[in-house]
Amino acid sequence: MVQEQTIREAINFSGVGLHSGAAVQMRILPAPVGTGVCFRRVDLDGFSIEAVGRNVAKVSYATSLMKRGVLISTTEHALSALMGAGIDNAIIELDQLELPILDGSAKPFLDAIHRVGIKRQRRQRVYWRVTKPVEIAEGEKFLAVYPAERYSISYTIDFPRPIGLQSFDLDLAGDAYEREIAPARTFGFLRDERALRNMGLIRGASEENAIVLSDTGVKNGPLRFPDEFVRHKILDLIGDLALLGHRILGKVVANRAGHAMHTALVSRLLRDQSLWDESYISYEEPNSVGATQEVSPALL
């Protein structure tokens, strides 16, 4: 059976928030079995907010969590990296309301996880196996999950030029996430910059942490992938679906979706338990390879 996992050592990050522009210090810490992922505001006496769907607050240009009036913003990249690395339990400490954007992708988080290593824990991992189709539609936007034996995603986007129509299919097995998704960066159009800044957004955005697009092309190339934009949308989706609190077994199909629709799917699955059942898998997941077995009687 596949076991739960955590990181072997604490990891430190520093940077700025994409939207707040505020300097932030962040740590990812090992956590005991059954913890899941939990954020902790060290600037607010260690106030904790669980990374679960019931705490979703705002999802316009990023996914934010709130509990008893305390906010954690732009959670999706770190959650995506943890999911991609096969981490079930972790505590994320930060001294600001927004996570650091780093280079705009999940790669710095994932690289740091691999650097300190992964620890297998003494509990079997529970999956949510989707048993019935779930579909959400809003105009041309569409998001669905269908029964399947593995976790896979098919995503299509259609943005104004120079992006256009892009599609990508991903099976979350082996090192596919690390190779194909983690390096994909967030992006934005120069023509939207003033309006977004007037809304109090993207105050920390720069050419070092986002792909910047003019009407004619990419201003700060080269791209890491020709279709980096749709790959980043998959990165965001994986992070948002991590708010289920469990890894899923199902095929996700998205067309022009976004954070709001991603988290709406999370809410739908959390609300209706007839759509999934709890399951174990007996094969060793490829992204667990290299993890060390826990040998001490400690809780971690």
Q: Is 259 tagged catalytic?
A: yes
DSSP three-state, residue 236: helix
Tokens of 137: 């539609």
Tokens 């993890």 map to which residue? Answer: 291
Helix axes 228-241, 76-85, angle to 10 degrees: 80
Strand residues in the chain grouped as ranges (E): 3-7, 11-16, 23-30, 37-41, 47-50, 65-67, 70-72, 90-94, 118-124, 127-130, 134-138, 141-147, 151-159, 164-171, 187-189, 211-213, 247-255, 276-279, 292-293
Residues 114, 120, 122, CA angle at the centre, nearest 5°?
160
Query: What are the angstrom distances between the C-alpha of 268 and each of 15, 77, 114, 213, 285?
Result: 34, 22, 33, 34, 27
Which residues have CB under 8 Å from 139's CB, separation 6+? none
Determine which one of 19, 232, 259, 262 is catalytic. 259
Largest CA distance in the chain: 59
CA separation for the pair 168, 281 (Å, rounded): 26
DSSP three-state, residue 26: strand
CA separation for the pair 38, 19 (Å, rounded): 22
What is the distance, to the nearest Å, from the Cα of residue 297 to the centroid of all Cα atoms in its chain?
31
The sign of the torsion formed by the CA atoms of 277, 282, 283, 286 equals positive
Which residues are identified as catalytic?
259
